A = this chain, B = another copy of it.
Amino acid sequence: MAQNKAEMTNKFRTYVRKMADYKEAVAVLSWDVMTCAPVRGKEQRAEVIGMLSTELFKLGIAPEMGEMLDNLSDTDTYEALDPVTQAMVRELKKEYDKNKSIPADLFQAYTVLTAKAQVIWEEAKRNNDFVAFQPYLEQIIDHLNQFIDIWGYEGHRYNTLLDRYEPGVTVEMIDPLFADLRKKSVELLERIQANGKPSDTSFLRKHYPAQAQREFSKFVLQKIGYDFTAGRLDESAHPFSTGLNLGDVRITTKIYEHDLQMALYSSIHEVGHAIYEQNIAPELAGTLLWEGASMGIHESQSRFWENIIGRSEAFWSCFYSEAAAMFPGPFAGVSVNAVYRAVNQVQPSLIRIEADELTYNLHIMLRYELEKALITGDLRVADLPGAWAEKMSDYLGITPPNDAQGVLQDVHWSGGDFGYFPTYSLGNIYAAQLEAALSRDIPDYREAVRQGEFGIITRWMKEKVHRHGKMLLPAKIIREATGEGINATYLIAYLEKKYTDVYELA
Give A contacts to B, CB under 8 Å.
Answer: 18, 21-22, 24-25, 28-29, 32, 36-45, 47-48, 51-52, 227-232, 244-248, 250, 285-286
Q: In the complex the two chains form, is A245's CB within 8 Å of B45's CB?
A: yes
Cβ of A190 to closest chain B Cβ, rounded Å: 48
Interface centre among A21, A42, A52, A227 (most CB of B within 10 A): A21
Q: In the complex the two chains form, is B48's CB within 8 Å of A25's CB?
A: yes
Say which residue of B21, B41, B45 sits within 8 Å of A47 (CB atoms): B21
In the complex, chain B residues whose CB is within 8 Å of the CB of A285: 44
Q: In the complex the two chains form, is A247's CB within 8 Å of B38's CB?
A: yes
Taking CB as reference atom, which chain B residue is nearest A27? B48
Copy total for this chain = 2
Once A25-B29, A29-B28, A32-B28 are accepted as A-B contacts, the answer to whether A247 and B51 lie under 8 Å apart by CB is no
Interface centre among A41, A229, A247 (most CB of B within 10 A): A41
Q: In the complex the two chains form, is B29's CB within 8 Å of A48's CB?
A: no
Q: In the complex the two chains form, is B44's CB within 8 Å of A232's CB?
A: no
In the complex, chain B residues whose CB is within 8 Å of the CB of A232: 36, 38
Q: In the complex, what distance in Å separates the CA atom of A190 from the CA atom of B199? A: 80
Q: In the complex the two chains form, is B231's CB within 8 Å of A38's CB?
A: yes
Q: In the complex the two chains form, is B246's CB within 8 Å of A38's CB?
A: no
Taking CB as reference atom, which chain B residue is nearest A285? B44
Once A32-B32, A38-B228 are accepted as A-B contacts, the answer to whether A18 and B248 lie under 8 Å apart by CB is no
Q: In the complex the two chains form, is B37's CB within 8 Å of A248's CB?
A: yes
By Cβ-Cβ distance, the 6 closest A-B pairs, closest first, are A41-B248, A40-B247, A41-B247, A40-B230, A44-B245, A21-B48
Cβ of A339 to closest chain B Cβ, rounded Å: 31
Once A32-B32, A45-B24 are accepted as A-B contacts, the answer to whether A39 and B229 lie under 8 Å apart by CB is yes
Q: In the complex the two chains form, is A18's CB within 8 Å of B51's CB?
A: yes
In the complex, chain B residues whose CB is within 8 Å of the CB of A245: 41, 44-45, 48
Say which residue of B24, B28, B231, B246 sits within 8 Å of A28 (CB atoms): B28
New contact pairs (6) apart from A38-B231, A40-B246, CB-CB < 8 Å: A18-B51, A21-B47, A38-B247, A40-B230, A40-B247, A41-B246
What are 20 A-B contacts defined by CB distance under 8 Å? A18-B51, A21-B48, A21-B52, A22-B51, A25-B25, A25-B48, A28-B28, A28-B45, A28-B48, A29-B29, A36-B232, A38-B250, A39-B230, A39-B247, A40-B246, A40-B247, A41-B230, A41-B247, A41-B248, A45-B248
In the complex, chain B residues whose CB is within 8 Å of the CB of A42: 247-248
Taking CB as reference atom, which chain B residue is nearest A47? B21
In the complex, chain B residues whose CB is within 8 Å of the CB of A52: 21, 25
Q: In the complex the two chains form, is B44's CB within 8 Å of A247's CB?
A: yes
Cβ of A484 to closest chain B Cβ, rounded Å: 37
Taking CB as reference atom, which chain B residue is nearest A49? B25
Taking CB as reference atom, which chain B residue is nearest A26? B25
Taking CB as reference atom, which chain B residue is nearest A248? B41
In the complex, chain B residues whose CB is within 8 Å of the CB of A286: 44
Q: In the complex the two chains form, is A248's CB within 8 Å of B21's CB?
A: no
In the complex, chain B residues whose CB is within 8 Å of the CB of A229: 38-40
In the complex, chain B residues whose CB is within 8 Å of the CB of A25: 25, 29, 48, 52
Say which residue of B24, B44, B247, B250 sits within 8 Å of A246 (CB atoms): B44
Taking CB as reference atom, which chain B residue is nearest A33? B28
Cβ of A241 to closest chain B Cβ, rounded Å: 14
In the complex, chain B residues whose CB is within 8 Å of the CB of A41: 230, 244-248
In the complex, chain B residues whose CB is within 8 Å of the CB of A51: 18, 21-22
Q: In the complex, what distance in Å separates the CA atom of A44 from the CA atom of B24? A: 10
Q: In the complex, what distance in Å separates the CA atom of A231 from the CA atom of B40? A: 8
Q: In the complex, what distance in Å separates the CA atom of A250 from the CA atom of B47? A: 19
Cβ of A460 to closest chain B Cβ, rounded Å: 23
In the complex, chain B residues whose CB is within 8 Å of the CB of A246: 40-41, 44
In the complex, chain B residues whose CB is within 8 Å of the CB of A44: 24, 245-248, 285-286
Cβ of A310 to closest chain B Cβ, rounded Å: 23
Q: In the complex, what distance in Å separates the CA atom of A47 from the CA atom of B248? A: 14
Q: In the complex, what distance in Å separates the CA atom of A228 from the CA atom of B41? A: 11
Q: In the complex, what distance in Å separates the CA atom of A41 from the CA atom of B41? A: 25
Q: In the complex, what distance in Å separates the CA atom of A286 from the CA atom of B231? A: 32
Cβ of A239 to closest chain B Cβ, rounded Å: 18
Q: In the complex, what distance in Å separates the CA atom of A47 from the CA atom of B28? A: 13
